[in-house]
Structure 1
Amino acid sequence: MMSLQTLNFKSIFALLALYIGWGSTYMAIALALECFPPFMLAGIRFILAGLIFFLWSLWKGIQFPKREEMLKICLAGFLLLFLGSGSVVWVEQYLSSGLTSIVWASLPIWLVAMDRKRWKFYLSNLKLISGLLLGLLGVILLFADKELIRVIENGTLLAFMIAIFGVVCFAFGSLYSKNISCKSTTIFIVAVQMIFVGVLSLIISLSLGEKFISHPGSSILNSILGLLYLIIVGSLIAYFSYLWLLNVLPPTTVGTYTYVNPAIAILLGWWLLNENITNPKILALILIFIGVFMVNYYKTKIPKGKPGQLEYKNHICTK
């Protein structure tokens, strides 16, 4: 299977940042939305996180990309952060975090469907495809409580469709970002994308007349803490890890974080909040982790390419 010699601990740490970090941001978004309107929240979050990375890049004297590369970086950021991650913030005004996580669990499927160059590679790996479908089934079982029916009854079908659109844009942006040829570092790329999307979000926020909300029952402190958590964990750590992982792992492996995120939420609720875990949820968790294991550790034969080309075998990553 996999030996310790083939383990890439940077990749494992980055995957854990996605699994745990982004798994907990759904709740942070819900807290922040109590006082921050969606576009204002996205603007503040991305600009502050982007400036931190940008100042770090200046301090390190990182080379600026060319104009053509900057345009490609901004387009990738628009797809990933504005249309992708931004849709999560907007739809959570109308959908629960649980249902939103179900929609995003389809991300690995979209990545396979859009990655035409690797169709032959994907379809030749029965374990990989089976792992993707098994993980998706596990996520659906976690929230099999007729919530989809309530979405239609409550008139929030539009939000549900926008959530799906956001996932599709995120998948397309992931593949587009993976194929961008840029001499700059991942930190600077993340900085440019976040500042661009943050400014765009604030412009839309001002045009819509969004205002900071403070009403009875809302907690300003919790909202600010939620915003800080989104900046530090959701943006600085997890998003940087995501873009970095796209350069060293197959997109389907990186996308498995959408399976683990809801499972992490369930386990944290059981551990910290004494929430009950039913037998169907236990089965769902088992299916999710088996699916992720199959995606990460399938065996395949890949022809060797040019020197320096990545080869994905029966371990996480060798480079």
Structure 2
Amino acid sequence: MINDKLISAALDPIFTVYAQNDDVRDFYKEVTADVKEAAQALLDNKQATVPQQAVEMAVKSLGDLTEPLQLISSPAASAAVATTSATVAQSWSDTEVRHIILRADETQVRLVASADAQIHVHQFQQPKLAASKLQLKQSEDTLYLAAPSPRWFQYLIPFRHPKSVVEIALPAQFAGTLDVDLKSGSLSATDLTNQLRATLTLRSGGITMEHVQFKTLSAQLTSGSFKANHLVCETLSLNAHSGAVHLANVETIFDLSAHSGLVKGNMLAGAGQFDVHSGSLTLNWQRIDGDIAVINHSGTVKLQAPAADSFKFDLQAQSGTVKVTRNATYSLQVQGAALGQVGEAPQYSVTVKNHSGTIRLN
């Protein structure tokens, strides 16, 4: 048996140097469970002779955790901006504007529901600086917005970093496009339902979706976090290079790519493909409507399918272990692979290819 103290002794020196926020604590729990399972498998298969050696080998197989830990432990930048007086406040009807393009350097972007049938754009600043004032230009049915970063000497007055919030209020009947390119900061959408087709690009920061329904959503995140709770859209295309991805109550066709970090989904509905280079991937499904495909270079993959479903599975770990905790019929069952099906009438297929690490299907 693997002693938890051995795992703590191996992981604590890695984790304790980082700020202990919720993401770090969740990641620690995930890694602890993965190491325990992998170490036990190494002992059972006689690839390790003693528990301590097994734990050391299991931890080593995780790879370098520095980058994901640095990202998920970084405090989110807070932008407490007074919103009593807007620097910019303009409105358009949804027949005038069908496409919105925003380019910003260092800004907090908020997408909210309009209280009427119009599109409203506001900018709030603290302090108010002409150099970083939102610039607006309309060309036919396209609205161009630009929020430049303030010049460096303005940071000294009044002895604090300037804050800027751009708020875009969209009406329920809006069925146009939104293209946001943000160098750093944050983007949030809250309590918003329409037929928007959104394309979001963020170099550094965080994207948050809360009670949102769009037509389609495409997001590119270089470093930072993506969090969605109660999100519905026809397709979700997400490319997160490094950081944490948290999905809860999300219904869509997924096309998710993550280079490194933590990807965790709960109460998911839909189908799709997931490509994770290194890190931990956990997907708990409430409903599966089509095939699920996962490619992972190194790390742990945990999938949970609805208990009543019948499906085919093809799970392969080139260097690692595969475990299926369901009543299943197997055509192949070895340490690093499991092929077969659950139930009598498969509705979809679950395919996981893992170069090194653990695959677990519940």
| TM-score of the superposed pair, with normalisation by structure 1 | 0.23
- Higher relative helix content: 1
| TM-score of the superposed pair, with normalisation by structure 2 | 0.21
Give the structure, 1 or 2, with the largest relative contact order (CA under 8 Å, sep 6 or more). 1
Structure number with bigger Rg: 2
- Higher relative strand content: 2
